[in-house]
Amino acid sequence: MPSIVIVGAQWGDEGKGKAVDALGNRVDFCVRYSGGNNAGHTVVVGDETFTMHLLPSGVLNPSCTCVIGNGVVVDLDVLAGELAGLRERGLDVEHPLISANAHIITPYHQVLDKVTERFAGNKRIGTTGRGIGPAYSDKINRIGIRAQDLLDPDGLAEKVEASLASKNQLLAKIYNRAAINPQVVTEALLAHADTVRPYIVDAARLLNQALDDGKVVLFEGAQAHHLDVDFGTYPYVTSSNPTAGGACTGTGVGPTRIDRVVGIVKAYTTRVGEGPMPTELLDETGEQLRAQGNEYGATTGRPRRCGWFDAPLVRQAVMINGFTDVFLTKLDVLTGWAELPVCVGYMADAHKIDGWPLTEREVEAAEPIYEILPGWTEDISQARHFGDLPANCQAYVRRLEALIGCRISGIGVGPGREQSIIINTLL
Ligand code: IMP
C-alpha cells in the first residue's frame, strides 16, 4: 500500500497525528496538500509535545522526506520559525521540499484577512487571521506570488508591486488603513530566498517518481471535510480543498495512484470559528466535553465548540472522500457518561431530513434527532485490543460504524503514541 491520504471528517482537530503515528516509521514521504499555517497538529512523543502549523508531521521522523505541495499556501516566516523552534529543542530536522508552484502568504494577505473579518461584523467567518483566504484569492485571481518567484528577484518585485497597486487603494480608501510599501514586502520575502532556494522543486515529478520506486507516500490533510471550500458549511469554511481530491490537485499525483483514504473521526464533534454545528451543546454537558477532551484550538487557543457525535455529518464525508477506513479518535473522552446521544438525522422547518441537508438554510435550521446509547465507566486508556473495551464501548463503536457506513480500523484511547487500538493495519 504505497500511497495513503489522511483527511479529517468533521471540522478539524480530529487528532490526525494519532493516525500518522500509527503508520510508524514506514512513511518515506509526508506531503501537505492544502491549507497553510491555519492548521495545527499536535504530536506527543514520550513526555514531549510538539505543535506544528505548517510543517508536515513527518518532520520528526528522520527517515521521512517532507514535502509542501502546490496546493499549500506558505508563510516563509512561519516556516523558518517552526524549523528553528524544533532545532532549539535539540531535534535535527530537515527543511521540507517545497513545490515551485506553491503560493506564498505575504504580510499584505495577513493585513487583509484581519481587516476584512473586522469589517464583516457578525458575518465574520472566524478565520485564523493568518492570511489564508487572501492568499488563495490571489491565486485564483492570478496575481499570487509563488515559491518559484523567489528564484527571480526582479520578477518578484514586479509581481508584488502589481498586486499591491489595487490592494493599497482598498486598504487606504475603503478600510482606512496605511498603504503597504511593495519594496519592504519584496525585501522581507527575499530575506528567506537563500535558505529556501535549494528546497524549491518540481514536487509532482518527485512524488510520482517516489511512487514508481515503491516508496510509501503519506498525503496529510489539514483542516477537514466540512471546512472544504466546495463541500463544507460554506461560507464558514477555509479557502482550499482539504477533501481527498485535494491530495491530487494539491500535489500533482493522479487519482489512480492513491491506494487508501483514511478518515479521521473524533468520537464526538467539535468546531472552532463561526458557522452551523447541529449537535453543538451550549450547556454544562458541552463544557464538560470541552474540559475532558481539552478542546482548545492548537492554532489560536480558542475554546472549541463541543457536541455529541453527528452521524450524517461523518457519513457525508465518507461518501465524498471515498474513505476506505476510519480512525476513531478520543474515545476515552467519552468514559463516564451514563448515556451517549448520537445524532442519526435532523429535523429542519418541521421536515425530517435524510442524510446531510441540501442547502445552507437547512444546515442552519437542522435540529438533531438523537439515538441514546448506553455509556461506560471503565477506564479504557490501557486497552490495546478491541476485545479489551467494555461491552457498551464496543457497542458504541459498532453502532457508529453502521451509521457512517465505513469500517473503523483504528481507535485512539489516549493522547500518547502507544494509546491506540489497531483493528486493520493502515499500511
Ligand atoms: P481560515 O482557514 O483561517 O481562513 O479560517 C476559516 C475557518 O476554518 C475558521 O472557522 C477557522 O477556525 C477554521 N479552520 C482553519 N483551519 C483549521 C484547523 O486546522 N482546524 C480547525 N479549524 C480550522
pLDDT tens for 4-18 read 999 999 999 999 877
> Average pLDDT in the 308-314 region?
98
**Cα–ligand 1 centroid distance for 129 (angstroms):** 9
Nearest CA to ligand 1 atom 11: 127
In which band, very low, low, confident or very high, does the pLDDT at 415 lie, cut at 50, 70 and 90? confident
> Average pLDDT in the 266-295 region?
96
Q: What is the pLDDT of residue 19?
A: 81
What atom in ligand 1 is closest to the CA of residue 39?
19
Answer whether 257's CB lies under 8 Å from 14's CB.
no
> Average pLDDT in the 211-217 region?
97
Residue to substitute in 227, 270, 306 for testing ligand 1 pocket (most ligand atoms within 8 angstroms of CB): 227
> Average pLDDT in the 306-328 region?
98
Pocket lining: 116 vs ligand 1, CB cutoff 6 Å: no
In which band, very low, low, confident or very high, does the pLDDT at 420 lie, cut at 50, 70 and 90? very high
Q: Tens digit of pLDDT for each residue in 216-239? A: 999 999 999 999 999 999 999 999
For 343-364, b/e burial (b = at least 16 CB within 10 A) is bbbbebeeeebeebbeeeebbe
Nearest CA to ligand 1 atom 5: 127
Residue to substitute in 38, 228, 271 for testing ligand 1 pocket (most ligand atoms within 8 angstroms of CB): 38
Pocket lining: 40 vs ligand 1, CB cutoff 6 Å: yes
Q: What is the pLDDT of residue 313?
A: 98
Nearest CA to ligand 1 atom 23: 223
Instruction: For residue 202, give the 3-state DSSP assignment.
Output: coil
Answer whether 23's CB lies under 8 Å from 1's CB.
no
- Structure-model confidence comparison of residues 370 and 1, the more confident one: 370
> Average pLDDT in the 130-147 region?
97
Active-site residues, by number, are 13, 41
Q: What is the pLDDT of residue 351?
A: 94
Q: How many CB atoms lie within 10 A of CB 209?
A: 11
- Say what the pTM is: 0.95
Nearest CA to ligand 1 atom 9: 127
**Cα–ligand 1 centroid distance for 39 (angstroms):** 7
